[in-house]
Structure 1
Amino acid sequence: MTSLAVVHAGLGSPSSSELLATRLAGAVSARVPGLEVRTVQLRDLARDVADNLVTGFPGARLRAAVQDVVGADALIAVTPTFNASYSGLFKSFVDVLDPDSLVGKPVLIGATGGTERHSLVLDHAVRPLFAYLRAVVVPTGVYAASSDWGAEGLPARIERAGGELADLLAGRPPAARPTEDFVPFDQLLASRARS
């Protein structure tokens, strides 16, 4: 049976990070029959993570969460954006993982924030973190600002990213999927010449 670990670092319950993680997992589950999904809510493990960083020994709950992540066939990782980067809790959990434990694992990354200004967090912080761990990060990361909820573009990005992760789970490279807002360069030039 194929398994998917879903890690989110939302501090509230519920949180926008939890909501995004759930929707991403749903998009993958819709494409992978019989997918087993295990969710790791880091909010519940904050003290365990801190204790492990200080003592070097994981408690039973943290050990189980790490095993869920390491043992899964793929990972969805979602963090809230704090000060233009991933949250400290999110990074602390990643620091608990063995540096070689995610090598070659397909990963879909996501982040949430109050404003669109932080949307580059995926490419300047989260993607490099998983690249350093030698995971295989899908091309489409999903950032959701407060204004994205209920807006047009977010569901399409979730579906595209979920499809890319499902393709990797099936052993296929992610398919090239045209975006609705893509305009070929020659058309842009032609429209500019007319104006």
Structure 2
Amino acid sequence: MTTLRIAVVTAGLSQPSSTRLLGERLATATEKALQANGSTARLEFVDLREHAQDLANNLITGFPAGSLRAAIEKVTGADALIAVTPIFNASYSGLFKTFFDVLEKDSLAGIPVLIGATGGSARHSLALEHALRPMFAYLHASVVPTSVYAATEDWGSSGAGGPGLVDRIDRAATELADILDRRPAVRPVDPFDDPIPFAQLLADQRA
């Protein structure tokens, strides 16, 4: 049975956060869909709220601090990504954008991504298509067809989510699981992962 690493990036600012809740729902649904395909998932959550100061420092210095570096490695080393942001002023949050701004070029190339967002009303739902989807396309990620937006009204009085939201979550999760099931994960090869021993380099020079 194949175990796939799925990074779940959420940019909620409050605790508890509806953005984190949507990320959890999408992750659980994806895990369930993968199990139906004969695979298992290892979910790794990255709450950007915890890295806000380090992200600002990274923009200035060009280097991520230890905890932020670990979060970045979770994302760039994953087989798939679930990315969820609150919508502010008809677009993704600054915190969400900053995280993806500090990633190395092509570090998300080829990775399947499920995008989601939360907001106060349904009128902000198109931000997924005019802001998030183009950003991930620019990063050469492979975004699944269904994006998931959850307005306050979608959660219902119980906070469990109405049938419309549940259906969208399940559809998007199934699309992500099917992409992962159809092809092996292809990640960029780091040339420093398996360096040529120094003694061999010397021998080659002498020869």
Q: Establish whether TM, by shorter chain, passes 0.5.
A: yes
SS in structure 2 at match of 1:34: strand
What is the total number of aligned residue pairs between the two structures? Answer: 172
Match of 1:12 in 2: 14
SS at match of 2:33: coil
Residue 171 (structure 1) aligned with residue 177 (structure 2): no
- Structure 2 residue corresponding to 1:137, chosen from 143, 160, 176: 143
Equivalent residue, structure 2, for 1:23: 25
Task: Tell me the TM-score normalised to structure 2 length.
Answer: 0.81
What is the TM-score with the length of structure 1 in the denominator? 0.86
Higher mean alpha-carbon deviation, 24-33 vs 100-109, is at 24-33
Query: In structure 2, what residue type is equivalent to 1:159?
Result: D
CA distance in 2, matches of 1:63, 1:107: 20
**Which letter maps to 2:24?**
T
Give the unaligned 5+ runs of structure 1.
173-195
Task: State the partner residue of 1:3.
Answer: 5
Paired position in structure 2 for 1:178: none
Taking only aligned residues, the RMSD between alpha carbons, in angstroms, comes to 0.9
Deviation above 3 Å: which 4+ runs of structure 1? none
Q: Paired residue for 2:114, among 99, 108, 117? A: 108
1:10-29 C-alpha deviation (Å, 9 max, x unpaired) = 00111110000000000000
CA distance in 2, matches of 1:159, 1:82: 25
- The partner residue of 1:154 within 156, 165, 168 is 165
Structure 2: 5+ residue runs without aligned partners?
157-161, 184-207
Which digits, 9 at most, give the CA deviation of each residue in 1:124-175, with x for residues without a partner?
0000000000100000000000001132200000000000000011126xxx
Select the structure of larger CA radius of gyration. 2
**Residue 140 of structure 1 aligns to which amino acid in structure 2?**
T
Structure 1 residues 72-120: Cα deviation after superposition (integer angstroms, max 9, x where no partner)? 0000000000000000000000001112001110000000000111010
Residue identity over aligned pairs, in percent, reads 62
Offset of residue 2 of structure 1: 1.0
